[in-house]
């Protein structure tokens, strides 16, 4: 019984509100009430927010229009916690500013990075799901959404060819998280009791690829292995790990007394969609274990957060080609599928649904062939799938996170169930068609070469040539003089900044990115223009119009090129990090 309370007093079996603070209806109406009678307010709030930004949405094909331009320090410096409660309408009115500048990824002209538009149903389902704030730490606060996580793991295991009763996994905080779990499990294998005693001055190496994502060595930093102990293996001319050099370096590491915790191979790089020779890496790993009688087995992880989606072509008949892909796209799709299907031989892989699954952020899943290795990161024995009952599914016991939003699994479940294999085939195929078309176009345009002509996926990298050097574009770069190379580098950089300035002023209806220092010749680094189609509306009809607009923009740029200063750009954003 509560006595002397300012808010409550006991009267019979009912509690009566006495204090004005406790009778604040506005405060209570900020929540879904127990009877759900104010659920309609939730719908009204969503409609009000959409109406607030509707006009801004139509002003630009690239972003929600930025009508207010402020410096960060101005906004942050004038931000304070209010003394009093604010109504829904008062807050919604202020939201408009924060929606400004958001990228309209659904627009075919937005070709910045591997960031897709989300399907509508996951967005709607996530909003409704958030009403109940589920946490996948365990099934008790997540309800039946725990099934969604396990179902996605099962469906992807089937796709790979693994026995789902033996596999395990969980949704985590992004592609970086999937790699972190792989390295952590590898540490657990090669340094027994590491979770209790730490690394104990053990010499640890993690092997990666020179074309791998920066998160490979960043995770080594976070785990205490050290950035310098993440060895980036050199590549062949095809962009895959050079297996002979890999064997030499791994043998040397073992002979020098190092333990190899993890070997990370590419399962679809951002710019080239490179798939390493997974089967050969597994064979190499197994030979080294046998040759040196290692008491552990190095963990092999496929960083396939982009390339996993090509597994959807598992049953596609590339000869009959029922979806009618062009010969060029069909060849690339078949090539990537034949490479990624060897993921079956690896120990684990990652999949980002917010990349090639067309869901909202955040939806990344780590999947491992032998779930016992994942469970061993925790303390308690975990129930097997056939033993699971409600209340027993508790990933928090072995996961890094104690808080995991269930919307990640829900989004992935919807993506797989709604699109199906054919839906994925059509979406991936459409974007590969666009990538092939753009690579071919910029390779043969009179003013450019394609810097990733051997790529297999969506991206196209265009190296532009100044007017006076366009007749020499077919020469190898090492045949240009130093002065000419500097001219090419400056030309590409200035064009990007010129284009960025126009984009920020809503004067063009496409948005491209820039890969700085993509190509190095001697001491000269040359950046290139990056085109990364992710909208399903980026088709041949759009590209035909886009090429005309691009050439027109380039012509206007040439007119002012000599007078343009780099400082003319309002800002110089750091290009997206690419895998």
Q: Is pLDDT of 528 > 80?
A: yes
Banded model confidence at residue 9, pLDDT cuts 50, 70, 90: very low
pLDDT of residue 579: 42
Q: Is pLDDT of 11 > 90?
A: no
Q: What is the mean pLDDT of residues 67-81?
A: 90
From CA 168, how far away is CA 188, in angstroms rounded? 16
pLDDT of residue 2: 40
Provide the mean pLDDT of the chain.
92
pLDDT of residue 5: 42
Banded model confidence at residue 66, pLDDT cuts 50, 70, 90: confident
Angle between helices 482-504 and 540-560 (to 10 degrees): 110
Question: In terms of pLDDT, which residue wins out, 16 or 207?
Answer: 207
Banded model confidence at residue 17, pLDDT cuts 50, 70, 90: very low
Match 């009778």 to its residue by tokens. 23
Q: Is the dihedral of CA 492, 496, 502, 506 positive or negative?
A: positive
Q: Is pLDDT of 357 > 50?
A: yes
From CA 499, how far away is CA 494, in angstroms rounded? 8
Q: Is pLDDT of 55 > 80?
A: no
From CA 99, how far away is CA 444, in angstroms rounded? 40
pLDDT of residue 13: 45
Q: Is pLDDT of 161 > 80?
A: yes
Q: What is the mean pLDDT of residues 313-319?
A: 97
| Closest of 500, 558, 556 to residue 530, by C-alpha | 500
pLDDT of residue 380: 85
The DSSP bridge partners found for residue 241 are 235
pLDDT of residue 23: 52
Contact 267, 343 (CB under 8 A): yes
**Helix or strand or coil: residue 494?**
helix
**Least confident residue range of 337-341, 555-559, 571-575:** 571-575
φ/ψ of residue 9, rounded to 5: -145, 150
pTM over 0.95: no
Q: Is the dihedral of CA 209, 215, 221, 223 positive or negative?
A: negative
List strands edge to edge, sheet with 511-521.
110-111, 511-521, 524-531, 460-464, 448-450
The total of other beta-carbon atoms located within 10 Å of residue 1's CB is 4
pLDDT of residue 53: 86
Q: Is pLDDT of 95 > 80?
A: yes
Banded model confidence at residue 575, pLDDT cuts 50, 70, 90: low
Question: In terms of pLDDT, which residue wins out, 324 or 566?
Answer: 324
Q: Is pLDDT of 551 > 70?
A: yes
| Closest of 229, 113, 127 to residue 175, by C-alpha | 113
Contact 48, 92 (CB under 8 A): yes
CA-based max dimension of the chain: 94
- Residue 249 CA, chain-centre distance (Å), reads 30
Question: In terms of pLDDT, which residue wins out, 380 or 333?
Answer: 333
Counted residue by residue, the chain has a size of 579
Question: In terms of pLDDT, which residue wins out, 539 or 2?
Answer: 539
Banded model confidence at residue 387, pLDDT cuts 50, 70, 90: very high
Q: Is pLDDT of 109 > 80?
A: yes
pLDDT of residue 460: 98
pLDDT of residue 6: 43
Q: Is pLDDT of 578 > 80?
A: no
Q: What is the mean pLDDT of residues 507-533?
A: 94
DSSP letter, residue 381:
P
Banded model confidence at residue 566, pLDDT cuts 50, 70, 90: low
């Amino acid at each position: 019984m509560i006595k002397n309370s300012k808010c409550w007093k006991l009267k019979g079996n009912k509690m009566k509100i006495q204090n004005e603070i406790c009778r604040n209806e506005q405060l209570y109406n900020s929540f879904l009430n127990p009877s759900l009678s104010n659920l309609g307010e939730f719908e009204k709030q969503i409609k009000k927010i959409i109406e607030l930004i509707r006009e801004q949405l139509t002003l630009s094909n690239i972003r929600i229009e930025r009508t207010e331009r402020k410096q960060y320090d101005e906004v942050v410096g004038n931000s304070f916690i209010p003394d009093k409660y604010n109504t829904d309408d008062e807050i919604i009115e202020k939201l408009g500013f924060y929606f400004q500048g958001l990228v309209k990824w659904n627009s075919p002209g937005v070709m910045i990075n591997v960031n897709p538009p989300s399907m509508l149903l996951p967005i709607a389902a996530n909003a409704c799901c958030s009403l109940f704030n589920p946490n996948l730490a365990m099934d008790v606060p997540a309800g039946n959404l725990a099934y969604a996580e396990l179902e996605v793991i099962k469906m992807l295991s089937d796709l790979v060819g693994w026995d789902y009763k033996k596999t395990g996994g969980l949704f985590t905080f992004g592609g970086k998280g999937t790699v972190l779990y792989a390295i952590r499990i590898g540490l657990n294998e090669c340094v027994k009791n590491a979770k209790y005693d730490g690394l104990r001055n053990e010499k640890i190496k993690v092997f990666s690829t020179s074309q791998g994502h920066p998160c490979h060595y960043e995770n080594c930093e976070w785990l205490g292995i050290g950035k310098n102990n993440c060895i980036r293996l050199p590549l062949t001319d095809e962009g895959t790990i050079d297996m002979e050099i890999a064997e030499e370096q791994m043998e040397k590491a073992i002979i020098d007394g190092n333990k190899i915790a993890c070997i990370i191979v590419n399962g679809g790089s951002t710019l080239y969609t490179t798939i390493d020779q997974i089967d050969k890496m597994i064979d190499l790993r197994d030979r080294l274990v046998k040759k040196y009688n290692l008491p552990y087995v190095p963990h092999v992880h496929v960083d396939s957060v982009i390339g996993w989606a090509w597994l959807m072509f598992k049953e596609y008949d590339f000869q009959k080609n029922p979806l009618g892909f062009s010969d060029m796209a069909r060849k690339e799709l078949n090539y990537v599928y034949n490479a990624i299907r060897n993921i079956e031989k690896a120990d684990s892989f990652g999949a980002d649904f917010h990349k090639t699954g067309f869901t909202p952020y955040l939806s990344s899943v780590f999947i491992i062939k032998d779930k016992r290795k994942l469970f061993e990161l925790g303390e308690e024995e975990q129930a097997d799938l056939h033993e699971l009952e409600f209340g027993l599914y508790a990933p928090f016991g072995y996961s890094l996170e104690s808080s995991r939003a269930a919307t990640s699994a829900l989004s992935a479940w919807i993506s797989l169930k709604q699109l199906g294999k054919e839906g994925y085939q059509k979406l991936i195929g459409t974007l590969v068609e666009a990538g092939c078309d753009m690579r071919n176009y910029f390779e043969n345009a009179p003013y450019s070469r394609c810097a990733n002509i051997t790529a297999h996926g969506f991206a196209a990298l265009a190296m532009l040539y100044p007017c006076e050097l366009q007749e020499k574009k077919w020469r190898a770069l090492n045949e240009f003089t130093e002065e000419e190379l500097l001219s090419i580098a400056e030309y590409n950089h200035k064009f990007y900044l010129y284009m960025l300035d126009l984009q920020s002023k809503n004067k063009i209806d496409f948005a491209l990115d820039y890969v700085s220092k993509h190509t190095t010749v001697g001491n000269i680094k040359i950046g290139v223009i990056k085109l990364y189609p992710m909208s399903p509306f980026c088709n041949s009809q759009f590209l035909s119009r886009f090429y005309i607009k691009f050439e027109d923009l380039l012509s206007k740029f040439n007119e002012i090129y000599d007078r343009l200063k780099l400082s003319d750009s309002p800002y110089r954003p750091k290009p997206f990090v690419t895998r």
